[in-house]
Structure 1
């Protein structure tokens, strides 16, 4: 998978007028499936790309190696000082090796800060913008359920605050977006489709990543204020003669450098579930 990292607009069609400031609103718009009938094997998408997390509030799993190092290092020291019998040289070498591995585990999260693409900031929820959840009504209930689950997984397991999936012109939009208030679900869905056509997202054929999105050179006015990172993964169906565009997956974050190489690969794997 080739990823194009951009700090400037590549296509003039992407340039829109600067977004207007919108007042903070609290209205939430939801679109839910009306049927919970079981899905057939042919319709079911295997979304077995979930990331392992403990789900403990306030626990950053990226620092898990540090806590493992502290734990095992403490056990080694406790075993050393509680031993009543004389300690031989082989045990000392084993303890030294164990303490070295524990020290490496403790320092491992710090090493990640010096790796490429690991300068990610923490996301913050936009102060302005609408929190929406809109799905096209013309698609099947099974696909609605898959799209709803996929967008939830992306919001839960990455720094994403806004996600949009387009499949053959049908949309699933979730998270915080800079959209008008006082609109019905159908009107809001049509508004998003019109904006997608104006920006030209449906014509994107290469993976795009903007780790330092500022909103001035590349003005996508549907994104919430404070957006710092944008990643677009096109859904391309390979045919015998050419490539057919099936849609795209867009994620946005209020953190700079929000999507590392592993994040982009994982999002691409998620997008593959809806390809073709």
Structure 2
């Protein structure tokens, strides 16, 4: 069952530094164009035929389609998510700081799950930050841009970051999933999705002590198994598509089970 869960939430990436996986079709098109040129050179003028010319025209068209596919995909994704750009920075901003804190008393496998899941979320979605709190109310993970201390001083260590997130969570945990708030998702006892700053303010999520002031989208998922909660936010309005939210649901369940014992 665990292997099936791993496969269900896995997203393939090449992991090549400086290379966006969305540009894979463009690379394939470039290789195809080189193949066409090599084939034409090998055939020469004497070996050319009408059939070869037609196949080369089709090949050139496919290469052009591959070259344009990444830009078209980015344009469609931008329209779906309010025109937000994919590129973003987790650098410190006013009232927030970039952190990566894991619970030290967690098992090695749980730490690995948290590190992998948070990296995948920040890499494969428009998320700028993510927090996970287990069913007992203990903050286990904080990564990305997280609201800083009220006095503006930096946290002395990662344990202080998690302690502060845990305290902030204890003050708002009872509000997650109530039907009285405005939300872009159907009311649920286990999930909230606020797709704009207006929805965040109306729901009262703007007072969440870990949410940075730049957040424009918030998604929170409480796992029904043990009550662990995964919260992710984005600096872009409508930052999480329906597919993203389904994927985050699976990750919330995985992390919840990792800290169940």
Instruction: Report the equivalent of 2:173.
Output: 200
Instruction: Report the equivalent of 1:90.
Output: 51
> What is the CA-CA distance between 1:216 and the residue it aligns to?
4.4
Aligned pair count? 228
Contact 2:216 2:235 in 1 (8 A): yes
> What is the CA-CA distance between 1:46 and the residue it aligns to?
6.1
What SS does the corresponding residue of 1:103 show, helix, strand or coil? helix
Determine the C-alpha separation between the residues in 2 that align with 1:206 and 1:67.
Answer: 42
> What is the CA-CA distance between 1:72 and the residue it aligns to?
0.9
More helix by share: 2
Consecutive unaligned residues of structure 2, counting only runs of 5 or more, are: 178-188
- TM-score, normalization by structure 2: 0.70
Of 88, 91, 99, which residue of structure 1 is paired with 2:60? Answer: 99
Instruction: Report the equivalent of 1:248.
Output: 229
Determine the C-alpha separation between the residues in 2 that align with 1:262 and 1:77.
Answer: 40
Determine the C-alpha separation between the residues in 2 that align with 1:231 and 1:267.
Answer: 9
Q: Does 1:108 align with 2:79?
A: no
Consecutive unaligned residues of structure 1, counting only runs of 5 or more, are: 1-40, 238-244
Contact 1:45 1:146 in 2 (8 A): no
Instruction: Report the equivalent of 2:16.
Output: 56
Instruction: Report the equivalent of 1:151.
Output: 118
Residue 89 to residue 101, structure 1, CA distance change in 2 (3 Å): same
Of 206, 231, 242, which residue of structure 2 is paired with 1:261? Answer: 242
Instruction: Report the equivalent of 2:180.
Output: none
In terms of mean alpha carbon deviation, does 204-213 or 90-99 score higher?
204-213
What SS does the corresponding residue of 2:80 show, helix, strand or coil? coil
Contact 2:176 2:192 in 1 (8 A): no
Instruction: Report the equivalent of 2:182.
Output: none
> What is the CA-CA distance between 1:207 and the residue it aligns to?
3.3
What SS does the corresponding residue of 1:232 show, helix, strand or coil? strand
Of 127, 143, 146, which residue of structure 1 is paired with 2:93? Answer: 127
* Root-mean-square deviation (Å): 3.3
> What is the CA-CA distance between 1:258 and the residue it aligns to?
3.4
Determine the C-alpha separation between the residues in 1 that align with 2:251 and 2:194.
Answer: 19
Instruction: Report the equivalent of 1:167.
Output: 134
Residue 137 to residue 88, structure 1, CA distance change in 2 (3 Å): closer
Determine the C-alpha separation between the residues in 2 that align with 1:100 and 1:184.
Answer: 56
Deviation per residue, 1:119-161 (Å, 9 max, x gap) = 3422222423233334445654543343233223323443333
Instruction: Report the equivalent of 2:146.
Output: 177
Determine the C-alpha separation between the residues in 1 that align with 2:99 and 2:174.
Answer: 20
What does residue range 201-216 of structure 1 map to in structure 2 within 5 Å? Answer: 203-204=176-177, 205-213=189-197, 216=201
Of 27, 35, 41, which residue of structure 2 is paired with 1:75? Answer: 35
Of 208, 211, 215, which residue of structure 2 is paired with 1:223? Answer: 211
Deviation per residue, 1:34-57 (Å, 9 max, x gap) = xxxxxxx99x99645443223333
